[in-house]
Structure 1
Amino acid sequence: MRVVYMLDPVDRLILDESPEPTGRVLVIDAPGLAGEVGARGWDAVAYCDSLLDERLLTVPVVEELTVGSLAGVDLVLLRLPKSVAALEEYAQRLALVPGVRVVAGGRVKHMTRGMNEALATRFAEVSASLGRQKSRVLHASGPRPGGIDFPRTARDADLDLPLAAHGGTFAGTRVDPGTRLLVSVLDRVPSATVVEERGTSVSKPSNFTCIDLGSGNGTLSALLARAGHRVLALDESRAACLATAVTAAANGVSVEVRRADALEGVAPGSVPLIVCNPPFHVGTAKDSAPGLAMIDDAARALAPRGELWLVFNAHLPYLPRLRRIGRTEIVARNPKFIVTRSVRGS
């Protein structure tokens, strides 16, 4: 008996608008859709930026979008990303595949004309479907291959900090306002020397003095490494991990980068210092659950007297959860953001 996957209206419209494939099908950022395509007997592979989405896949995973990894693909089914830059990077990479067709769907309220234009930079024909159940599909065909200009880089003049970003990296090559507020008080974060004097360094052999949880484009990782910390950067987004690594290299500092769900793989009670700017969206939907989960995981991983420095939108309900860790103080705030310091008791 064939498994039937629970698909939302966007997934169903993508399937209904798709031509019958003659070769391999690539599904991007849509684990449920990938499962249904595989269950239909199509030769399917999938790529997800999100590690959490990737772990839901029931078809083979493509680790990167290159000509070699996409050999034999003639049809791409794609959930439109939140970022137009992410779609632009996908278009650049997919257009390297001869004869490929793209069917990209999303909720109408989240679609913009810029998405059509991003596809049109590398595909000769781009058209939109009539819409159904508040969803719509963009069709792209006639690939026009060219160079790939991701990751992109830019220098933040105020911080004298080159930053790198792939299309799906949060904040791109900018320092987002929340991170900038945290950066403004970074001189109050314990130094690597202080951390080591407390005797709470992460266990050997890695011996990190700081973890940047949700590293994004690597702003905090690079600044902390520049200040002398041995930094471990963690993010579940592939685009973020790749960007953090390039940012560190551009700044001439050493940062270890891992793609991980929060602090998985980090031993309980082992981390002396965590800095974090947690997400408050899942895709296009506002959701404080990931941030709360990251706080809980930080509480598990912090060493005695270890510190969590968090920046978050002022309206989010994080303070009660932070106070479960230990003494929590507001270090900085403005009308939109709050920076807190939470110290785990001994």
Structure 2
Amino acid sequence: MRSARLEQALASGLLSLPAEGRIAVLRPRIGDELHDLPRERLQVITGFRPDHDWFAARGYPTAPRAEGTFAAAIVCLPRAKAHARALLAEAAQIVTAGGPVTVDGQKTDGIDAVLKDLRARVALSESLSKAHGKLAVFPAGDNLADWAARPAQVDGFTTVPGVFSADGIDPGSAVLAAALPADLKGHVADLGAGWGYLSRVVLSRAGVKSCHLVEAEAEALDCARLNVTDERAAFHWADATTWKAPRMLDHIVMNPPFHTGRGADPALGVAFLAAAARNLSPQGVLWLVANRHLPYDRTLTTLFRDVTEIGGSSAYRLTRAALPLRTR
């Protein structure tokens, strides 16, 4: 979809890339084809580890953050409005003044609203509409400086636009935090740690020897480093579904994601559960919160000998799963 719009924009002259200089591609997603762009000049910039690794495996220079100046940029629009604005502001700053900044996105990701906002602030080209999305181009400059990402303080935690639950503590995580036992001890991991809320609760237990914060989103992990300053904490920018703990763990806490794009994807949560079973010791315990409608029960019984619902709320189910059947 994205490649079809890029191909047409280049062919029609709507997007004219400078003859020299690096081209930043911000936040492309797994499966996005960039073959119409000059590969030797591209820099894929994404802090989401699965996307980062997918492009790196295909030979693209890839980094979690932009460094230096670029001749052009292409912004692959995310769904969150604040995050989209922050990426556009970043692109307008890292590109040489007057250089082309391209914004591309699906209608379901809010491209129409973003283009409307841009028209009031920059010299936006006509938009190209194709494959249920739109693309437009504007010259880099300072017009979007007030859209730049700024840290926020939420209940004593630092967050930034684009991270999960940036506006407040996730209700499911709060339910799990309240249920964690006071005598939690040993080596622990928080899979999908986000900006560190659950890990801070874990580290409030004196018996905890270490807590591994495993998070795929680099910006969320940067926030976690500010929010969790305990020397027992270790930070891992990694895909939790493939992460391997440095040693087998006594406990894992998690509030796993269950969306890829707009649609629910229970398979993602299932992959988190399997990762927990792999990384726990034979006597290890998983502490899980999940939306009640998610079909995790059967999977849990194939991964753990002892699976017990320990409470929750009308929206969330709390589960204690112990004695993993599959370990490393």
Q: TM-score range by the shorter chain?
A: 0.7 to 0.9
The aligned counterpart of 1:235 is 215
Are the structure 2 counterparts of residues 328 and 291 from structure 1 closer, same or farther at C-alpha, using a change threshold of 3 Å?
Answer: same
Whether 1:290 aligns to 2:286 is: no
SS state at 2:194 partner = coil
The aligned counterpart of 2:184 is 191
Are the structure 2 counterparts of residues 143 and 310 from structure 1 closer, same or farther at C-alpha, using a change threshold of 3 Å?
Answer: same
The aligned counterpart of 2:290 is 312
Are the structure 2 counterparts of residues 125 and 290 from structure 1 closer, same or farther at C-alpha, using a change threshold of 3 Å?
Answer: same
Whether 1:11 aligns to 2:3 is: yes
Are the structure 2 counterparts of residues 137 and 106 from structure 1 closer, same or farther at C-alpha, using a change threshold of 3 Å?
Answer: same
Identity %: 21
Whether 1:107 aligns to 2:106 is: yes
Are the structure 2 counterparts of residues 335 and 96 from structure 1 closer, same or farther at C-alpha, using a change threshold of 3 Å?
Answer: same
- How many angstroms apart in 2 are the aligned matches of 1:129 and 1:14? 12
Q: CA deviation at 1:118?
A: 6.9
Q: CA deviation at 1:214?
A: 0.1
Whether 1:96 aligns to 2:89 is: no
The aligned counterpart of 2:153 is 154
Corresponding residue to 2:43 among 42, 45, 61? 45
Are the structure 2 counterparts of residues 107 and 280 from structure 1 closer, same or farther at C-alpha, using a change threshold of 3 Å?
Answer: same
The aligned counterpart of 2:23 is 25
Are the structure 2 counterparts of residues 41 and 125 from structure 1 closer, same or farther at C-alpha, using a change threshold of 3 Å?
Answer: same
The aligned counterpart of 1:131 is 129
Q: CA deviation at 1:20?
A: 2.6
TM-score by length of 1: 0.79
Aligned partner of 1:109: which letter?
A: T
The aligned counterpart of 2:317 is 338
Q: CA deviation at 1:253?
A: 6.5
Indicate conservation of the 8 Å contact 2:91/2:140, yes or no: no
The aligned counterpart of 1:6 is none
What is the number of equivalent residue pairs in this alignment? 308
Indicate conservation of the 8 Å contact 1:102/1:141, yes or no: yes
Whether 1:83 aligns to 2:70 is: no
Corresponding residue to 1:219 among 186, 197, 209? 197
Are the structure 2 counterparts of residues 111 and 247 from structure 1 closer, same or farther at C-alpha, using a change threshold of 3 Å?
Answer: same
Deviations 1:273-304 (A, max 9, x none): 10011111112222111110110111111112
The aligned counterpart of 1:198 is none
SS state at 2:8 partner = helix
- How many angstroms apart in 2 are the aligned matches of 1:244 and 1:126? 37
Q: CA deviation at 1:261?
A: 1.7
Superposition map of 1:317-332 within 5 A: 317-324=295-302, 325-332=304-311
Whether 1:172 aligns to 2:172 is: no
Q: CA deviation at 1:80?
A: 0.8
SS state at 1:174 partner = coil
Indicate conservation of the 8 Å contact 1:216/1:241, yes or no: yes
Indicate conservation of the 8 Å contact 1:25/1:42, yes or no: no
Deviations 1:100-157 (A, max 9, x none): 4222222212316653477579x6334662522321224333421747864513242x
Deviations 1:294-332 (A, max 9, x none): 101111111122110111111111111112212111112
Q: CA deviation at 1:44?
A: 1.0
Deviations 1:78-100 (A, max 9, x none): 22112122222213322223324
- How many angstroms apart in 2 are the aligned matches of 1:190 and 1:126? 58
The aligned counterpart of 1:36 is 35
Are the structure 2 counterparts of residues 118 and 54 from structure 1 closer, same or farther at C-alpha, using a change threshold of 3 Å?
Answer: farther
SS state at 2:235 partner = strand
Q: CA deviation at 1:339?
A: 1.2
Indicate conservation of the 8 Å contact 2:254/2:289, yes or no: yes
Alignment gaps of 5+ in structure 2? none
Corresponding residue to 1:301 among 276, 279, 285? 279
Corresponding residue to 1:141 among 136, 139, 142? 139
Aligned partner of 1:95: which letter?
A: A
Query: Please, which moves more after superposition, 257-266 or 112-121?
Result: 112-121
Indicate conservation of the 8 Å contact 2:244/2:279, yes or no: no
- How many angstroms apart in 2 are the aligned matches of 1:149 and 1:26? 17
SS state at 2:203 partner = helix
Q: CA deviation at 1:266?
A: 1.6
